Structure 1
Amino acid sequence: MITITFPDGAKKEFEAGVNALGIAKSISEGLARKVIAAKVNGEVWDATRPINNDAELFLLTWADADGKKTFWHSSAHLMAEAVEAAYPGVKFWVGPALDTGGFYYDMDLGDRKLSEEDLAALEKKMNELAKANNVYTRKEISKSDAIQYFSEKGDEYKLDLLNNLNDGEITFYNQGNFTDLCRGPHIPATGIIKAVKLTSVAGAYWKGDEKNKMLTRVYGISFPNQKELDEHLAMLEEAKKRDHRKLGKELGIFTMDDMVGQGLPLWLPNGTVIIEELEKLAKETEEDAGYKRVVTPHIAKESMYVTSGHLPYYADSMYPPMELDGEKYYLKAMNCPHHHKIFDAEPKSYRDLPYRIAEYGTCYRYEQSGELFGLMRVRCLHMNDAHIYCTKEQFADEFRAVNEMYLKYFKIFGIDKYIMRLSLHDPEKLGQKYINEPELWLETEALVRDVLIESNIPYVEVKGEGAFYGPKIDVQIWSAIGREFTLATNQVDFAQGRRFNLSFTNQHNEPEVPLIIHRAPLGTHERFIGFLLEHYAGKFPTWLAPVQVKVLPISDKYLPYAKEVEQQLKKARVRAEIDDRNEKIGKKIRDTELHKVPYMLIVGEKEMTEQLVSVRRQGKGDAGTVTTDEFLNGLLKEIEEKADH
């Protein structure tokens, strides 16, 4: 007999070899119908996989994030089976579930092409295979047998994956007529998949390397019922309207140019206004919080990044070095080493701590071309970065203050849903992916966890996602239509201080190494503006709008008065423009609405004679007639308060 411990602490004995689905059935048939996977001692397993030893068990359903990922990964295998039936000889690379929802599979179709029109036929085949209710079966296999299997198929992609696997780590999964190398887990059977939509076809370089062959990537989404799929597709339609790339072009926010280079956005005047307003907000907020501003170069010598440890850990994400006078220089991929040298420039005592320095620093990261995506994944980024050097006793207050800064920003931008993801180290990768200081890892992770609990901030823990020098918080936010974004990080660093020989004189007149907090509450201009474009659907609140007021004369006769109104607004530092085109007023209003300008001031005979303006609010229509001073007073108050729509 084995003992199974449930999340509430209850324990129950079962025969060895029982599986999670059987345990669920022992509780109730209704529960068993909902279970699609399980966590066994913290690891996600097939619900049908035998449990042979005492274990902690958490039953996973569609309501759980890990349940959804298992469902979507299983759907990727179902899609692969449908593709293989339609395109014999196809070879598959990887088919993961996506954190943002859904799945994809990369495949080599040889000389054949797969178009958007082919997706409907594949969906039909997937639904047919799902109804067959074929069981997903897991089989452990030796490396030699796996190599033989894929050698006979001539599948260089799976053979490449096997290079990094050893006996005891290799499993095959089968459902129906499809078998694949996969570590799982999977749902019990295909019949659980009730609704499928293949959403797009794209190209993807093998391993994300543009030097390798271009594979075909098919994206899809699936659900346990049609209603949820319909709701999801409706959300996708709304998301298309809010696509930051589309809105960025329509509103003149940014552009990309091949002559400049991939992933290197050019900010147009309207986008630059938004950047400057965000930077102004950050500077004011940080000044109030006791930060001092600094500026650092865009390049640095190789030795600094060796000292920091970013080389070799981070080399693949950095631009290659430039060699000058026998020295190697790298484009700056992160601000922290520069900031450490600023801390070290002058002696510090405990009276100088906490020492907070901030910079909107420009960094360059060589993201693979296949991973570039509008403003969300770029190669040049402007980071709302800062570093706090403090004592261990000051850490909790400083870390808490950073989190409170996040909450302040959330309120300003109308972000109602968020969660902090506490990213921890993986003990098995100490000395490889992480600094080999096991005691410091546990201590600093506990410090961060305690602050989150005391502050009553919603958070989840994720193993193996920490920075190489310490635990971090990844801030996950949701836009107005429910799309999830990673905004920024708040990181703890117990290693860099020693690497750079940083110290302060403590109260006992002894040198002590400071703890370091890396934080960037607004992330980068690029990612955050991309998020805001989608969050607001381009309808920025007045304080952030590139053009805040458009003055619309009914005809050229009223142009002189329109210019007087414009000058009065500009004198008050309002971003105002005149639409002086020889067009009818109806067209001017429609065009201003399309450009999502918050306010229109219409001036004609009555307005000019009585020194008034007729006010229209974006999306809300006529707001009455007032004097320019009255309008301006209300507008300036709205801007100062950073009022939402």
Structure 2
Amino acid sequence: MSQAVELIFPDQSTRSYDAATTGREVAESISKSLAKKAVAYALDGQLRDLTDPLGQAGKIEIVTRDDPRALELIRHDAAHVMAEAVQELWPGTQVTIGPVIENGFYYDFARETPFTPDDLPVIEKKMAEIIRRNAPFTKEVWPRQKAKDVFAEKGEGFKVELVDAIPEDQDVKIYRQGEWFDLCRGPHMDATGRIGDAFKLMKVAGAYWRGDSDRPMLTRIYGTAWANQEQLKAYLTMLEEAEKRDHRRLGREMDLFHFQEEGPGVVFWHAKGWKMFQTLLAYMRRRIEDDYDEVNAPQVLDNALWKTSGHWGWYRENMFAVTCADEEAEDHRVFALKPMNCPGHVQIFKHGLKSYRELPIRLAEFGAVHRYEPSGALHGLMRVRGFTQDDAHIFCTEDQLEAEILKINDLMMSVYKDFGFNEVVVKLATRPEKRVGTDEMWDHAEDILKRALDRMAREDSRIKTGINEGEGTFYGPKFEYTLKDAIGREWQCGTTQVDFNLPERFGAFYIDKDSEKKQPVMIHRAIVGSLERFLGILIESHAGHFPLWFAPVQAVVATITSDADDYALEVASAMKAHGLRVETDLRNEKINYKIREHSLAKVPVILVCGKREAEERTVNIRRLGQRDQSSASLDDALASLVAEAVPPDVAREEATSVA
């Protein structure tokens, strides 16, 4: 008999069990029905196989299939079933790595003839057959050499390499489902039948082994799996909608921007897209003009600065660097395009003596930065190599830190609301394994952020909170702001990072009230992050149907016949005089053709002018996405559109002034 351990259940009741008791036995001790529904259990938050013995005391939860945490297990099991299906259909295919990813899973396969999309329905059919067999998942722990020998005998060279990569202090785990088995760390549900039928294989792609272009090319098969058919259908519908909203497609239709091979990862802005960019930039500048000093740090700096900051050691592979001959020095100098603005802002803070009375000092920059992202990761505006950050750094005392964090949060939430994002998740990203600074420094910074996070959630019902363990940056913990768009997708945008490290590295200080030098705390703040990426998010969330104040072209004045050309030009001129962004369409085309064309370009308002409208000095108003049209006098239409085109922050200021 092994020792007894005490378990704490979700209702806070406690029971003692033998340490050798399995999760399934615990479930059975509660009720037979719970044991039948159980697919795994969690001990102190860590998911385990039902057959795993407890081994220790802790908080226990029995996980059923309808538990959100079971979704990861469903996908993991589906990946294994897909691998078995592939090897049954094409013996000799090598199975490599198959993890769970966001919304699904994938497996990489080594095969002389790569898979094609035509193979997916065949694999799906075989997967359904394997699931119906309802074979149990069982775990075995093998000696390391046995695992290598078995996989080598099967011709699974990639698996042999994976066994070698397992640290010596970790078990080599093998999971079986019937006769088929694979190397896996687990956990899994109890049988393949638990997967259900809500799965679909999505696409095939090429992938280098271990992500190394010098290693063999494999075929990657992606799939998705859900708890039920309703969830699967909703996900597939969302994907269809997302395809319609793809910012790259809308960028072409709206003539906003393009990319080309000669400039991988950098944006070629067209006039309309650049107008949107400048509208966003002007909005962001207005939001910070009262509290921040806008600065501009150099684009290119000697790598000595980046060595001091730590970026050269931690971030070198993502930096654009160049070696130049210096006529005044014997050696060549190495320079780098800045991947972020923070070291430059520390230099600006250090220029001149600072007193505690001047703090907090808030420096903002809409700085162009460059990062060498892998070519395979580039994705329109969402992942680029050159972009603009709405960056700021606040230098403050420790006593001011929490108030500054809360002030930043208020600004962020206001900005997100103006752009239509009303669901926001704020997560605290804590210390990573590789980091600088003392544990005491990290404890202090994380405690402050935890207090601020609790207060933010109490005071704003729109904010949901969470913890991202180990996801902080190397120099400090941070808040990550995630927005939910119109079709339910989540986008991580804003960050607030506490940094006790960089000011120390650069010797930044202020003079305190006792005339002593003291190191400031540095807060890194970005509201939308990359302006380019945020524009991509806005394009997709709004599907190009922007509010009038943000649309690149706010209205088109289109004529029915040439008799109205002069009047149409007069209408457009009057609108431009009031600051509206207007184009005219006087082409000799049918009006319905013009309307369709401008609707495709997502112009919010089309003002139709014919001979009758010219005589009566009216306009016919057509709104994007609406079949109905209305008629109004030119003066009334102009006043209405001018009022509608006022940016939300300006409208608030005007309302406050009137009040």
| Aligned residue in 2 for 1:330 | 336
Q: Which runs of 5+ in 2 are unaligned?
A: 327-331, 458-462, 652-659
Deviation at 1:135, TM superposition (A): 2.1
Cα contact 1:142–1:168 (8 A) shared by 2: no
Aligned pairs (5 A) from 1:181-580: 181-194=183-196, 195-261=198-264, 263-288=265-290, 290-325=291-326, 326-426=332-432, 429=433, 433-456=434-457, 457-580=463-586
Deviation at 1:581, TM superposition (A): 2.0
Deviation at 1:550, TM superposition (A): 0.7
| Aligned residue in 2 for 1:138 | 139
Partner SS, residue 128 of structure 1: helix
Q: What residue identity is the alignment partner of 2:173? A: T
| Aligned residue in 1 for 2:656 | none
After the TM superposition, which of the residue ranges 361-370 and 148-157 deviates more from structure 2? 148-157
Cα contact 2:561–2:611 (8 A) shared by 1: no
Give the whole-Å Cα distance in 2 for the aligned partners of 1:365 and 1:63.
42
Cα-to-partner distance string for 1:48-79 (whole Å, 9 max, x where unaligned): 32212212223444565543223222221221
Partner SS, residue 520 of structure 1: strand
Q: What residue identity is the alignment partner of 1:340? A: V
Tell me the TM-score normalized by structure 1: 0.94
Shift in CA distance, 303/226, structure 1 to aligned 2, threshold 3 Å: same
Deviation at 1:173, TM superposition (A): 2.2
Deviation at 1:387, TM superposition (A): 0.8
- Would you identify which runs of 4 or more consecutive aligned residues in structure 1 move more than 6 Å? none
| Aligned residue in 1 for 2:129 | 128
Cα contact 1:421–1:461 (8 A) shared by 2: yes
Cα contact 1:95–1:103 (8 A) shared by 2: yes
Cα-to-partner distance string for 1:249-274 (whole Å, 9 max, x where unaligned): 2222221101222x222222222111
Cα contact 2:321–2:334 (8 A) shared by 1: no
Cα-to-partner distance string for 1:400-419 (whole Å, 9 max, x where unaligned): 11111221122112113221
Cα contact 1:210–1:369 (8 A) shared by 2: no
Partner SS, residue 106 of structure 1: strand
Partner SS, residue 234 of structure 1: helix
Give the whole-Å Cα distance in 2 for the aligned partners of 1:320 and 1:32.
59
Cα contact 2:495–2:526 (8 A) shared by 1: yes
Give the whole-Å Cα distance in 2 for the aligned partners of 1:37 and 1:366.
42
Deviation at 1:15, TM superposition (A): 2.6
Shift in CA distance, 33/478, structure 1 to aligned 2, threshold 3 Å: farther
Cα-to-partner distance string for 1:471-526 (whole Å, 9 max, x where unaligned): 11222221111112222322111111101111111112111111111111111122
Deviation at 1:468, TM superposition (A): 0.4
State the aligned residue count. 635
Cα-to-partner distance string for 1:221-271 (whole Å, 9 max, x where unaligned): 11232222122222221111112222222222221101222x222222222
Cα-to-partner distance string for 1:279-304 (whole Å, 9 max, x where unaligned): 1111111113x111111222221111
Cα-to-partner distance string for 1:408-443 (whole Å, 9 max, x where unaligned): 1221121132211211114xx3xxx11141111111
Q: Is residue 591 from structure 1 mapped to residue 597 from structure 2 by the alignment?
A: yes
Partner SS, residue 237 of structure 1: helix
Give the whole-Å Cα distance in 2 for the aligned partners of 1:544 and 1:298.
29
Shift in CA distance, 76/504, structure 1 to aligned 2, threshold 3 Å: same
Deviation at 1:603, TM superposition (A): 0.5
Tell me the TM-score normalized by structure 2: 0.92
Shift in CA distance, 378/211, structure 1 to aligned 2, threshold 3 Å: farther
Partner SS, residue 455 of structure 1: helix
| Aligned residue in 2 for 1:119 | 120
Give the whole-Å Cα distance in 1 for the aligned partners of 2:98 and 2:243.
24
Give the whole-Å Cα distance in 2 for the aligned partners of 1:350 and 1:62.
57
Deviation at 1:204, TM superposition (A): 2.3
Partner SS, residue 88 of structure 1: coil
Partner SS, residue 69 of structure 1: helix
Cα contact 1:127–1:196 (8 A) shared by 2: no
Give the whole-Å Cα distance in 1 for the aligned partners of 2:377 and 2:267.
15
Q: What residue identity is the alignment partner of 2:270? A: L
Partner SS, residue 509 of structure 1: coil
Give the whole-Å Cα distance in 2 for the aligned partners of 1:354 and 1:453.
23
Partner SS, residue 94 of structure 1: coil
Partner SS, residue 289 of structure 2: helix
After the TM superposition, which of the residue ranges 162-171 and 370-379 deviates more from structure 2? 162-171
Cα contact 2:397–2:520 (8 A) shared by 1: yes
Q: What residue identity is the alignment partner of 1:567? A: S
| Percent of pairs with identical residues | 38
Give the whole-Å Cα distance in 2 for the aligned partners of 1:641 and 1:501.
42
What's the RMSD between the two structures over aligned residues?
Answer: 2.1
After the TM superposition, which of the residue ranges 176-185 and 493-502 deviates more from structure 2? 176-185
Deviation at 1:320, TM superposition (A): 4.3
Equivalent of residue 606 in structure 2, options 600, 604, 611: 600
Equivalent of residue 174 in structure 1, options 154, 157, 176: 176
Shift in CA distance, 315/611, structure 1 to aligned 2, threshold 3 Å: same
| Aligned residue in 1 for 2:74 | 71
| Aligned residue in 2 for 1:54 | 57
Give the whole-Å Cα distance in 2 for the aligned partners of 1:29 and 1:530.
51
Shift in CA distance, 73/245, structure 1 to aligned 2, threshold 3 Å: farther
Deviation at 1:220, TM superposition (A): 0.9
| Aligned residue in 1 for 2:16 | 13
Deviation at 1:276, TM superposition (A): 0.8
Partner SS, residue 458 of structure 1: strand
Deviation at 1:557, TM superposition (A): 2.0
Shift in CA distance, 175/589, structure 1 to aligned 2, threshold 3 Å: same
Q: Which runs of 5+ in 1 are unaligned?
A: none
Cα contact 1:81–1:177 (8 A) shared by 2: no
Deviation at 1:448, TM superposition (A): 0.5
Q: What residue identity is the alignment partner of 1:52? A: G
Give the whole-Å Cα distance in 2 for the aligned partners of 1:156 and 1:298.
47
